[in-house]
Amino acid sequence: MVLTLNARSALRLALIGAATVSMAACATKPKPTYPTTTAAPPVQAPPAPDRGVAQQSLPANQGPLPGSQQDFVINVGDRIYFDLDSYAIRADAQALLDAQATWLKRYGATAIRIEGNCDELGTREYNLALGARRANAVRDYLVGRGVNGERITTVSFGKEKPIDGGSGEEANAKNRNGHTVLVSGAR
C-alpha cells in the first residue's frame, strides 16, 4: 500500500489527535485517594492503684510450656552432628543425648522420630544407608540410657533434606546430623 504525502500527513494527524484525546480523557478522571495513616485507638491511662489492697503481680513469661516441642528444642536440643562418613556418636553429642534421654523419661508419653541426615557428598543410595545408620545410632544410644525403644522410630533422609543449602565444608558439617522430632504426646 502506497500512501501519498498528503495521505501520510493526514494519517499522522489522526494518530496524534487520537493520542491527545486519550490523554485528555485520563487527565479528567479524578485520582483515587487512599488513607495514608490510620487513627490510633485512644490511649487509656491505667487505673490508679488501690492503696488498701496489696497489688498482685502477673507472672512473667516463664518460657516454653514444659513437655512441649518448644521446651524440648530450647531446653534440651534436638540435633547432634556427625563426622564425615561416620555414624559414631561424637563425645560432644553425648551430653545432649543424655539430656534428651532424661527429658524423654520425664515425659514418658512422648513418641519421637530420629531423622538421619547426610551432606551432599556421595551417592543418593550411599547417603540413605549412612543416614539410616546415624538414626539407628542415636536410637541405640537413647535406648541404652533407659528410653523405651517402642517410642522411637527412625528414618533416613540421606542428602534429601539439608538444613544448609550451601556447599562447602561448613554447610556439609551442618547437614551431617541426627534430628530428634517429637511426633506425639508432647503438650
Contact 175, 80 (CB under 8 A): no
In the DSSP assignment, the letter for residue 51 is T
Q: Is residue 8 part of a domain?
A: no
What's the confidence (pLDDT) of residue 82?
A: 98
Which tops the pLDDT comparison, 48 or 157? 157
pTM here is 0.66
Q: Is residue 17 part of a domain?
A: no
Residue 63 burial class via C-beta count within 10 angstroms: exposed 0-12, middle 13-18, buried 19 and up: exposed
What percentage of the chain reaches a pLDDT higher than 90?
A: 63
Strand partners, 109: none
Q: Is residue 58 part of a domain?
A: no
What are the pLDDT digits (tens) for 114-136? Answer: 999 999 999 999 999 999 999 99
Sheet holding 79-81, edge to edge: 79-81, 177-184, 111-117, 152-158
Question: Domain containing 111: what range?
Answer: 69-184
Domain containing 106 — which CATH number? 3.30.1330.60
* The one-letter amino acid at 102: T
What's the domain count of the chain? 1
Q: Which three cell numbers stand for residue 134?
A: 546415624
Stretch 46-58: mean pLDDT: 47
Residue 48 has pLDDT above 90, yes or no: no
Stretch 68-81: mean pLDDT: 94
Please name the helix (run of DSSP H) or strand (run of DSSP E) that holds residue 14, with its range, or none: helix 5-28
What's the confidence (pLDDT) of residue 64?
A: 86
Stretch 33-51: mean pLDDT: 46
Q: For the CA atoms of the chain, what is the radius of gyration?
A: 33
Residue ranges of the alpha helices (H) in 29-168?
69-71, 91-106, 124-144
Strand partners, 23: none
